[in-house]
Amino acid sequence: MSIIENPIYVLCVLCLMVIAAYYVAKTKLGSKFGVALLTIVFTAVIANFKLIPSASNSIPLYSGIFTYLAPISIFYLLLEVNLKSIKKAGTPMIVLFLIGSAATTLGILAAWWLVSPQSVIGEDSKIIAGMLTGTYTGGSVNFNAVALEYDFQDRGVLYAGTIAVDNVITTLWVVISLAIPVMMRSFWTDKKVKITSEKKHAKDKNSLDFRSLVWLVFLGLSAYFVSEMISELVPKIPSILTLTTIGILLAQTKFVSKLKGSHTLGLYLVYIFLAVIGAYCELSAVAELKTIGLTLLAFAALAVLFHGIIIIVVGSLAYKDWEMISIASQANIGGGTTAIALAETFHRKELILPAILVGTLGNALGTYLGFLVVNIL
């Protein structure tokens, strides 16, 4: 066994790439790309210099990360989904968010009809449609959940290309969301919807202590085992969907809700998973993405455009608050983090907590809608 195939060496390099991405993402330029995309890019560079194995000479470590680590990482991230607390977001934000979720699904279906990505990408286009439905409902947790069920991560370059397109569209939608209130007010005056502001608990849920760690490790492994058993008994039920459901149900219990660090642990495991995705990106195969890349871009852009039109039109009929509509839309497309950024920019402090809460609702809803779209198509 050569040194570049040694699993411990490779794992060290993957961890190092996450560390590098973390620090670069803290710079002014790096912050525009984020840790996830930087992790993929850095590992891709290392793999293409033959310093670690790539797709053409994959090692069992990569398969193990895809099979075990990635699904468990999604489980950990879902342990923060507190369905009871979502009601604190207030009826207006929840209604707008659900309108946005429906708009995403309809947008994907409309874009599918107009762009016909299946004629260029083939059967993988259905999976991509499900992944984009998931991520434009609640975030990357749903994106990866759908991808893992269909082993889409094995299409290294195509997977990374889909992530890159997603990042471009998400960034553009942040800019558009910032402009929506200004544009709409030029011909239709709005009225701010009042929502009672609530302070978040002071307790730091992201600090991982030993008690939480031992329980999180046990729960993650147990949930994975149970989901695999159910999948064997009922093959038609995707194991990742069972794992997702178990995670959401456990998150509602008092005991699990008090565990600290599930988000931190889950996020780190996701980055390791993305590092392997980067390792699968061989430059020799990038040329194949030229036409496919343009098709992906057109497909995702049209889907988000339809989402925007629907949520603006329908949302304005329910609540004529352009800033709230923009924040709810951003909670769909970009997730809770970018929705918070919009609330801060609009000086709507009372919408910060609702943005976080409907973001968790998206995490819970997105995977189901993603699988629904795959089955419809």
What are 124-148's pLDDT values in tens digits? 889 999 999 988 987 777 787 788 8
What pLDDT shows up at residue 24? 93
87 close to 196: Cβ distance less than 8 angstroms: no
**Region 348-359 average pLDDT:** 72
pLDDT of residue 110: 92
Of residues 21, 13, 12, 23, the one with CA closest to residue 39: 21
Q: Report the number of distinct structural domains present in the chain.
A: 1
Q: What is the pLDDT of residue 6?
A: 92
Asked, for residue 52, whether it belongs to a domain, the answer is no
In a domain, 369, yes or no: yes
pLDDT of 36 higher than 80: no
pLDDT at 202: 37
* Predicted pLDDT at 56: 67
Q: Residues 103, 133: contact at Cβ < 8 Å?
A: no
Within a domain: residue 15? no
- Whether 158 contacts 292, CB under 8 Å: yes
- Looking at the predicted structure, is the pLDDT value of residue 276 above 70? yes
pLDDT at site 85: 65
- Report CA torsion sign: 335, 163, 224, 213: negative
Residue 103 lies in a domain: yes
Provide the pLDDT for residue 289. 65
- Cα distance between residue 369 and residue 137, in whole Å: 8
Mean pLDDT on 152-173: 76
Tell me if 79 is assigned to some domain. no
pLDDT digits (tens, 9 = 90+) for 10-35: 999 999 999 999 999 898 888 767 78
- 364 belongs to a structural domain: yes
pLDDT score of 203? 47
Q: Say whether pLDDT at 370 is over 80.
A: yes
Q: How confident is the model at residue 113 (pLDDT cuts 50, 70, 90)?
A: very high
Residues 323, 328, 329, 335, Cα dihedral to 10°: 120
8 is a domain residue: no
CB 110 within 8 A of CB 307: no
Q: Directed axis angle between helix 70-78 and helix 352-376, to 10°? A: 140
Above 60 in pLDDT, residue 323? yes
Would you state the pLDDT for residue 365? 83
Cβ atoms of residues 53 and 59 within 8 Å: yes
Average the pLDDT over 87-99 and give the result: 79
pTM of the model: 0.66
Q: What is the pLDDT of residue 273?
A: 83
Mean pLDDT, range 354-358, rounded to an integer: 74
The percentage of residues in the chain with a pLDDT greater than 90, rounded to a whole number, is: 18
| pLDDT at 200 (0 to 100) | 45
CA distance 341 to 347: 10
**Mean pLDDT on 51-57:** 80
For 328-353, how does the pLDDT look when each residue is reduced to its tens digit (9 = 90+)?
A: 888 888 776 667 667 767 777 777 66
Could you read off the pLDDT of 277-322 as tens digits, one per residue? 778 776 655 555 677 778 888 898 999 999 999 988 888 887 778 8
- Alpha carbon distance, N-terminus to C-terminus of the chain: 44
Structure tokens at 1: 């066994």
Residues 173-191 have pLDDT tens digits of 877 887 888 787 777 766 6
Average pLDDT of the chain, as a whole number: 81
Asked if the structure places residue 10 within a domain, the reply is no
The predicted-structure confidence for 189-236, as pLDDT tens digits, reads as follows 666 666 554 444 434 566 788 999 999 999 999 999 999 899 888 877
Mean pLDDT, range 60-66, rounded to an integer: 87
Domain that holds residue 363: 85-192+204-262+284-376
Q: Which residue has the higher pLDDT, 319 or 264?
A: 264
Binned at pLDDT 50, 70 and 90, residue 109 comes out as very high
